[in-house]
Structure 1
Amino acid sequence: MELPLYFISDLHLRLDPSEKEVQRQKRLFHFFRHIAETKGTLFIVGDLFDFYFEYKNVIPKDFFNFYMEIHRLKEAGVNTHFIFGNHDYWVMDFITKELMYKVYDSDIEFTKNGKRFFLTHGDGLLSWDRGYRIMKKIIRSPFFIWCYRWLHPNIGYWIAKKFSGDLEHYTHPDEYNRKVLDELTPFAHDKIIDGVDYVLCGHYHQATEKQINSGKLLILGDWFTFDSYGIFDGEDLVLKRWNSKNPSSIL
């Protein structure tokens, strides 16, 4: 696992040809090219897509530019690790074998340079997520996926576009963000007490770096409000905002 380690989440790449979406993805791809130059390792901590469903012989053409950019990272020697989020349930061999170095359908832990990392997308962690935890089991079940795969791809993606809202609905008021942080803090505290140095998650669309005892909690933000990412240089983990003119910009 090569340094530096980069961490991003909640890209929510969309089935949307609008100029706004095109420009948003261009910022992301500039970031990928920066990683290709600096080398290192990339972790995508969930919700790469707003909707993605891979059929046995069909992949969505809307994400062609993304496929190319990730493949360029691979050719540059950058390994990309992908943790599935609540929008990434239905990937198959093309994503997992052709583009990503490794994929994970649940939380992961690893140690680098003596620092222990815990990565989770973060969905289902909150006390009010009980209903979601039930729904998650249903829509990730082999039976549900088998049923959806019987839909013609044009129909399947038409349904997805109908149910996909604007990115603005992922933006939450300050009061909600405080409640989320109040619940995630004891979760991260317990991990740190158990020996974890860094707890990283996505899902909540807030960019937060919080010191907890000797460790840190990073909520990784997203790539339409913050353009934020975590970076570990071998000594410390910090949260930054991507700026192609100033890659060292700290949030």
Structure 2
Amino acid sequence: MKLPIYFISDVHLMLNDTAEEKHKRKSLYRFLNYVRTTRGTLFFVGDLFDFYFEYPDMIPKAYFDFYNKAYQLKKAGVNLRFIAGNHDYWLLDFMKEKIMNETYFDDTTFSLKGKNFYITHGDGLLSWDYGYRILKKIIRSPFFTWCFRLLHPTIGYSIAKKVSRTENHPEHSEQLKEKIRNELTKFASGHFEKGFDYMVCGHYHLNEIIDVGKGKLAVLGDWQDQPSYAVFDGRELTLHQWENNA
């Protein structure tokens, strides 16, 4: 794995071509151009797309500009790694083979420069997410996936546009954010006791690094309102705002 290693999550590329979406993509592509100059590694830590369901002979054209940009990065030597999130779990060969170098359908780990990393999108970790954990098993099951692929893509994506509306999701209250921090800290602590040095997590949009004993937990931000990224330079993991987003 090549240094530096960048991490972003919850970009939520949308199916609808709005002014806000164009602004977000412009910011994202400037960031990808920056990563390209380093020829390092880039992890997409889930929910890159607000909805992505790949059919054997069909991919959503709304993301064509991203496919092209990512493919050019890959050709330039950037190592692209994608962890499927709760919005974009249903990948097939196009994303796995043509666009990304590596794809993961669950949490993943790696070691580099004497540091051990645990990478997770993070959905379903909270103790009160009982219902979601059941739903997650259902919608990720082979049977559900098979049934959804029986739908014509136009119908499937029409349903997705109505169900998945990230731009309308409310902000977490400070009280809820604190509860989430406590839960994630507890989860990370158990892994740090097993020898991990860093945990990188998405999904919760907190945009902060939390010291947990001898380890560090990076809870990435989203790209809807606060474009940010984490980077490991071989010595330490740091979190940054992406300022070149005008």
TM-score of the superposed pair, with normalisation by structure 1: 0.95
Aligned to 1:210, the other structure's residue is in SS state: strand
- Residues 1:80 and 2:80 are matched in the alignment: yes
Match of residue 227 from structure 1: 227
1 CA distance for matches of 2:115 and 2:179? 28
Q: Which position in structure 2 is the counterpart of 1:103?
A: 103
Task: Report the counterpart of residue 121 of structure 1 in structure 2.
Answer: 121
Residue 59 (1) aligns with residue 73 (2): no
CA-to-partner distance for each residue in 1:174-209, whole Å, 9 max, x for gaps? 111111001111111111111100011000011111
1:96-245 equivalent positions in 2, closer than 5 A: 96-169=96-169, 171-244=171-244
Identify unmatched segments of 5+ residues in structure 2.
none
> 2:26 matched to which residue of 1?
26
User: Is 1:39 aligned with 2:34?
Assistant: no
In the alignment, the residues of structure 2 paired with residue 129 and residue 166 of structure 1 have an alpha-carbon distance, to the nearest angstrom, of 19
Extract structure 1 runs of 4+ deviating beyond 2 A: none
**What is the letter of the counterpart of residue 88 of structure 2?**
D
Whole-Å separation in 2 of the counterparts to 1:133 and 1:22: 33
Q: CA deviation at 1:163?
A: 1.2
TM-score normalised according to structure 2 size: 0.97
Structure 2 Cα separation of the partners of residues 51 and 84 of structure 1: 11
Distance 1:26 1:51 in 2: 19
Partners of 1:78 and 1:96 in 2: CA distance? 15
Q: CA deviation at 1:226?
A: 1.4
The offset of 1:6, in angstroms, is 0.1
Whole-angstrom CA distance in 1 between matches of 2:168 and 2:221? 14
Equivalent residues, number: 246
**C-alpha separation between the residues in 2 aligned to 1:41 and 1:107?**
17
Matching residue's letter, 2:36:
A
CA distance in 2, matches of 1:243, 1:190: 34
Helix, strand or coil: the match of 2:91? coil
Confirm or deny: 8 A CA contact 2:230 2:238 kept in the other structure: yes
SS at match of 2:230: strand
Letter in 2 for 1:226: Q
Deviations 1:73-99 (A, max 9, x none): 101100111111111121111101100
Structure-2 separation of matches of 1:219 and 1:170: 18
Name the SS of the counterpart of 2:169 in structure 1. Answer: helix
Shift of 1:244: 2.1
User: Counterpart of 2:85 in structure 1: which amino acid?
Assistant: G
Change (3 A) 1:219 1:94: same
**Contact 1:9 1:203 survives alignment (8 Å):** yes
CA deviation map 1:23-67 (0-9, x unaligned)? 111100100000001111001111111111111111110000110
1:170 Cα shift? 5.2
1:102, 1:42 → 2: CA distance? 11
Cα displacement (A) at 1:168? 4.1
Root mean square deviation, CA, Å:
1.3
1:182 match: secondary structure: helix
Separation in 2 of the partners of 1:238 and 1:228? 11
